[in-house]
Chains A and B, each alone.
Chain A
């Protein structure tokens, strides 16, 4: 192999590797953005679905644990990926938590959860001041609609 051939192959290899690398990085960035969005959506929907089922079927302690997991996950996601739908989801999660606390006789915790629910619904309905009963009724209708899906 002559010196010229060695230089040609080396240059070809370097050009190939660098351009392949650049395209690879670009693709990795695109894939990462797509996957991050998919994971954020899945975290919110999987924990919400689990909380709903535990709320319907499990005892107070397990239902509370599931709803708190949903709230923790969505609140954490809110800090990194703002989603307008999260206000409503968190509002309903806090109503659910309030109903669990009501069932276990924890009046103070129930009140605090309803206040949180009201706070999250402020983002969705800024002018309305919803009563406790309206909030609970809204959850029942929401869960009914979700169950029919």
Chain B
């Protein structure tokens, strides 16, 4: 036991170092995050933090979308979560992304012959675009939007 003592002590030291590292990174990050934009005052800084958290979430979700129904469906779930935590004034931004996802889903379902599902998704996209004040929400316009999105590697 005496000969193993230094090794055991080293093991204890490394274990506690890892514990300290984990707790400090988490606590430290959340503390730092809570002080972002502090010069604006507590309320305005909090609102701006909520805004930037949401926009980064949207940006990441845009990067992750692939042209498959599964990926788009997954992205819709992510967007629902982002919207539930977002400030109300940013809901339209999330809604536009959701509308584009439904439009793409409709196009993909149509291409694979699932006409009923395609019509349902197209209807969802049109309803959202209408709520965003879009002037042309005809089938053709939404299909064009979907094709643009499907062609583009960078979804915006």
A binding-site residues for B, Cβ under 8 Å: 5, 8-9, 11-25, 27-29, 31-32, 35-36, 38-40, 42-43, 45-47, 49-50, 53-54, 57-59, 61-63, 65-66, 69, 73, 76-77, 79-80
Contact = CB atoms under 8 A, between A and B. Distances in A.
A21 B20 contact: yes
Interface stretch (B36-44, B73-81, B107-115, B116-124): B36-44
A17 B22 CA distance: 10
Contacts of A58: 132-135
A36 B25 CA distance: 16
A16 B59 CA distance: 38
A58 B51 CA distance: 22
Binding site secondary structure of chain A: helix
B136 interface: yes
Given A65-B92, A80-B48, A16 B15 contact: yes
Contacts of A20: 16-22, 24
B89 interface: yes
Contacts of A35: 33, 56
B56 A38 contact: yes
Interface string B4-23: 01001110111111111111
Contacts of B93: 46-47, 50
Contact of B48 (A28, A50, A57, A76): A76
Nearest to A27: B25
B17 to A, nearest CB: 3
Contacts of A53: 96
A45 to B, nearest CB: 7
B101 to A, nearest CB: 15
Contact of A17 (B5, B17, B40): B17
15 contacts: A15-B13, A16-B13, A16-B17, A23-B17, A25-B25, A27-B21, A28-B29, A45-B55, A47-B55, A54-B92, A54-B96, A58-B133, A63-B133, A77-B48, A79-B40
B5, B28, B89: most-surrounded residue (chain A CB, <10 A): B28
Contact of A13 (B13, B27, B133): B13
